[in-house]
């Protein structure tokens, strides 16, 4: 089996890699008789071509003779090679409109597409993800944004930090007033964000205290779905029902928006679930949120102020409270500043890639050598020109001519 690591084709190119040079060297050493590895040359990666060569990995411009191709972000349609097996984040399983053409092309080209997001163990837990790093960088960016908006402190951008240690060193410069911060998300993203909050020594408080008490220091509340969603019929909440039938629920997040000044959003969102609030709500005088870091970055999703994604080069935009329109960042003191970078781990690409590669080495590399590996079968979106049973629900998404 010949494994290829493709050059990232999206623009701007992602600096992350699925595996580091040392990881590929170790894989080649352990599975040398069963698989060979080659890397497509790239001037953009956080790890240079020379680092791969120094690790004993072949680097070529053309790796189209590979059987299995690993990337990170979506592969542009014109770069897809017929009949190959691909691993990447396809961003199609929520029926994202902007990637409909990609999935159609995958089917037309008889590609086997295995999506990292769908790689799960037998209990249904994801086994490979950049979530922790998205949470760390997203929360850091929330405070960078708050510092720029208030002129209370200045820290350098996350992508200017050499590593996680340097990032934590920057956080020591943060001086906060008694601001109330809301965090959503209890998975990798939420836990990554908590690393930053804990580094700043910000205390966690209960929902009741967050809503009703005054504090003379910064505090945060970590919300679960049950804290801001309620059944439409009677105001109750049942976790299993919520995840199975989210359309039966409505949001009552407004009370948190009235109490908090910052929102760090890292919760998974089902398209059938209610939004946290509506765009018209931000015009209300008691809507206090002024900085929103949408780490999950679902455009058109649970945070309606996420009008578009932002970029590492241009990380923040403002939303005018009266018109709901996007305006330049920090132009009006009264507007809401939104950080919605959709590739946050790319700001610390070497460390995030290393952790991701450890997960792939553990779960995917051995599975590639198994016949009909269960973990790979469950994550296969398309094969031989058809959607798999698990993802047959995407049929109308693919055939829609909108």
Q: Would you name the residues annotated as active-site residues?
A: 73, 91
What 3-state DSSP class applies to 222? strand
> Can you tell me the distance from the alpha carbon of 281 to that of 288, in angstroms, rounded to the nearest whole number?
11
Residue 10 · residue 98 · CB < 8 Å = no
In sequence order, what are the residues at sequence separation of 6 or more whose Cβ sits closer than 8 angstroms to the Cβ of residue 369? Answer: 1, 31, 34, 35
Residue 187 annotated as part of some ligand binding site: yes
* CA proximity to 313, closest of 190, 143, 146, 158: 158
Residue 316 annotated as part of some ligand binding site: no
Other C-beta atoms lying within 10 Å of the C-beta of residue 40 = 20
Residue 7 annotated as part of some ligand binding site: no
Residue 295 annotated as part of some ligand binding site: yes
> Can you tell me the distance from the alpha carbon of 223 to that of 291, in angstroms, rounded to the nearest whole number?
17
> What would the two tokens of residue 365 be?
């590399």
How far the first Cα of the chain sits from its last, in Å, is: 39
* CA proximity to 347, closest of 176, 106, 159: 159
Residue 235 annotated as part of some ligand binding site: no
Residue 214 annotated as part of some ligand binding site: no
Residue 188 annotated as part of some ligand binding site: yes
8-state DSSP, 130: -
Q: Regarding beta strands 386-387 and 180-184, do their DSSP bridges make them parallel or antiparallel, or are they unpaired?
A: unpaired
Residue 159 annotated as part of some ligand binding site: no
Residue 163 annotated as part of some ligand binding site: no
C-alpha neighbours within 13 Å on the C-beta side of residue 382: 27
Residue 1 · residue 34 · CB < 8 Å = yes
Which segments are annotated as binding site for NAD(+)?
187-188, 227, 268, 295, 341-344
Which segments are annotated as binding site?
187-188, 227, 268, 295, 341-344
């Amino acid at each position: 089996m010949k494994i290829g690591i493709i050059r990232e084709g999206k623009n701007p190119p992602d600096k992350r890699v699925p595996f580091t040079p040392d990881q590929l060297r170790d894989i080649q050493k352990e599975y040398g008789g069963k698989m060979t590895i080659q890397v497509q040359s790239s001037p953009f990666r956080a790890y240079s071509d020379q680092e791969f060569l120094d690790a004993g990995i072949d680097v070529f411009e053309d790796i189209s003779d590979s059987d299995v191709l690993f990337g990170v972000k979506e592969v542009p349609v014109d770069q897809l090679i017929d009949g190959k097996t691909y691993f990447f984040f396809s961003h199609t399983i929520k029926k994202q409109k902007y990637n409909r053409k990609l999935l159609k092309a995958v089917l037309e080209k008889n590609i086997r597409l295995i999506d990292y997001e769908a790689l799960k163990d037998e209990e249904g837990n994801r086994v490979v993800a950049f979530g922790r790093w998205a949470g760390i960088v997203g929360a850091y960016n929330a405070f960078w944004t708050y510092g720029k908006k208030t002129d209370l402190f200045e820290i350098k951008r996350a992508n200017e930090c050499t590593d996680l240690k340097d990032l934590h060193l920057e956080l020591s410069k943060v001086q906060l007033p008694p601001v109330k911060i809301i965090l959503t998300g209890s998975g990798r993203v939420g836990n990554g964000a908590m690393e930053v909050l804990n580094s700043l020594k910000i205390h966690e408080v209960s929902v009741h205290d967050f809503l009703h008490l005054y504090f003379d220091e910064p505090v945060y509340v970590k919300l679960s779905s049950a804290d801001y969603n309620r059944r439409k019929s009677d105001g109750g909440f049942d976790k299993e029902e919520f995840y199975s039938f989210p359309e039966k629920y409505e949001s009552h997040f407004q009370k948190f928006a009235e109490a908090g000044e910052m929102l760090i959003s890292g919760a998974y969102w089902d398209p059938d679930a209610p939004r946290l609030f509506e765009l018209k709500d931000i015009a209300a005088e008691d809507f206090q949120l002024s900085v929103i870091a949408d780490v999950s970055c679902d455009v058109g999703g649970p945070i309606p102020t996420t009008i578009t994604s932002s970029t590492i080069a241009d990380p923040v935009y403002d939303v005018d409270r009266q018109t709901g329109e996007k305006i330049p960042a920090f132009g009006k003191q009264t507007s809401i500043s939104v950080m919605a970078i959709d590739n946050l781990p790319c700001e610390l690409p070497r460390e995030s890639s290393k952790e991701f590669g450890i997960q792939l080495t553990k779960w995917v590399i051995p599975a590639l050598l198994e016949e009909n590996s269960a973990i790979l079968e469950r994550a296969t979106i398309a094969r031989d020109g058809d959607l798999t049973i698990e993802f047959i629900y995407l049929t109308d998404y693919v055939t829609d001519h909108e």
